[in-house]
Structure 1
Amino acid sequence: QRYPVMWQGELVLKNDCSAVQMHFVSGSKMLVGQSLPQGTLEGNIGPLRIAQRMRLETAQLEGVAKRMMNEQEFSMLLALPCGHDHMDIIQQSSCLRHGFISYLQQKQAAGIVNVPVPGSTQPGYVVHIFPPCAFSSDNLSEAAPDLLHSVSEMAYLLVIIATVSS
């Protein structure tokens, strides 16, 4: 499998939530386990809550692109809606499209989740959640043109996890 599912869970933004699977595209697979909510003993995975926004401005995007130069310091994932059956996937796609993609595109922003270093309060990782935009398609077309082609009509978010430079 070229783009394995690395995380499955709920994405939350304000009062909206959507079930997604995140497929690994490029970068470091290790960062995914360190930065995204992991399952508890009961098997429940906590939601990934978008608490802040980053404007899609050149300076901000250049900062993210700079972090993506070192393969050990970032992970690129593609979040796609998932569900128990076809109807559920249609429902989740609609939630993702209206609650997340439209909102972020309207605000011209990416969602941000700051994740502390495990076991501390020190900032460790920043999870950037991009709606379809020039930055998303440029990066996807470079890393996985076949994947971009197959999801271009679907509801998707580009997720870039980066380490916080100390």
Structure 2
Amino acid sequence: LFQRFPVMWRGQLALKNDSSFVQMHFVSGNQGLVKLTLPQISPMDQVPLRIAQRMRMEQSQLEGVSKRMQMDSDYCLLIAVPCGRDPMDISQQTKGLTEGFIQYLQQKQAAGIVNIPMPGSQQPAYVVHIFPPCEFSHEAVLRANPPLFDQIRDSPHVVIIIVHCDASHP
């Protein structure tokens, strides 16, 4: 399914009391943003990527994300799908992703947000957005790779969009 889209990160997504192990496949943009923003520790000791905030899926908010996706160097688009050690584990991770993330975010009409500071700073430098399947995430994947959209449309996934906090950042 995802052979043409390299795995850039494997780890745990966390939201409130729910978590799910996922692997994130690179779709488009700047691959370098993955190393700058997602926890880079060995899989056994990995710190979860914890969603601390939500962004309401209002037009003005979505336009802000879209504006930061104009240049390939300014964003990274990934697809996160459940992963596990064996089919039973994958089934559990799929349930966790579906119930704890996809359904929750869809009910709230929101994307999950993780602010990532520059090393040694409290100021956010990047924002990791976690979108459930929705019109905005579908359009982003369709723009980047129409055949991929057909492959993922009916399977549990979230779309990850990493952008700089400041749109004027190089």
Q: TM class by shorter-chain length?
A: over 0.9
Partner residue in 2 for 1:123:
124
The Cα shift of 1:119 comes to 2.8
Distance in structure 1 (CA, Å) of the matches to 2:76 and 2:69: 8
Q: Distance in 2 between matches of 1:164 and 1:106?
A: 26
The aligned residue for residue 77 of structure 1 is: 78
Residues 3-18 of structure 1: matches in 2 within 5 Å?
3-18=5-20
How far did 1:90 drift? 1.0
- Pair 1:30 & 2:32 matched: yes
Offset of residue 43 of structure 1: 5.4
Corresponding residue for 1:112? 113
**1:5-41 CA distance string (max 9 Å, x none):** 000000000000000000000000000000001115x
Q: Deviations over 1:54-83 (max 9, x none)?
A: 000100000000000011111000000000
- Equivalents in 1 of 2:119, 2:131: separation in Å? 24
Name the SS of the counterpart of 1:118 in structure 2.
coil
Aligned partner letter, 2:143: E
Q: What is the percent sequence identity of the aligned residues?
A: 56
Equivalent residue, structure 1, for 2:54: 53
The secondary structure found in structure 2 opposite 1:119 is coil
Question: TM-score if structure 1 supplies the norm length?
Answer: 0.95
Return the alpha-carbon distance in structure 1 between the equivalents of residues 77 and 20 of structure 2: 19
Please list the CA deviations of residues 61-113 of structure 1 after superposition, one character each: whole Å capped at 9, or x if unmatched. Answer: 00000000011111000000000011111111111000000000000000000
Aligned partner of 2:89 in structure 1 is 88
Structure 2 gaps of 5+ residues are none
Name the CA distance, whole Å, in 2 between partners of 1:119 and 1:43. Answer: 25
Q: Do the aligned residues in 2 keep the contact of 1:17 with 1:99 (CA within 8 Å)?
A: yes
Moved over 6 A (4+): none
Equivalent-residue separation in structure 1 for 2:58 and 2:123 (angstroms): 26
For 1:148, the aligned partner's letter is: F
Does the 8 A contact of 1:140 with 1:148 survive in 2?
yes
Partner of 2:140: 139
Structure 1 unaligned runs (5+)? none
Cα distance between partner residues in 1 of 2:161 and 2:46: 20
CA 1:89 to 1:43, structure 2 compared with 1: closer, same or farther past 3 Å?
closer
Question: What SS does the aligned partner of 2:60 have?
Answer: helix
Backbone CA RMSD of aligned residues = 1.3
Q: TM-score, normalised by structure 2?
A: 0.93
The SS at the match of 1:139 is helix
Question: How far 1:45 moved relative to its partner?
Answer: 1.8
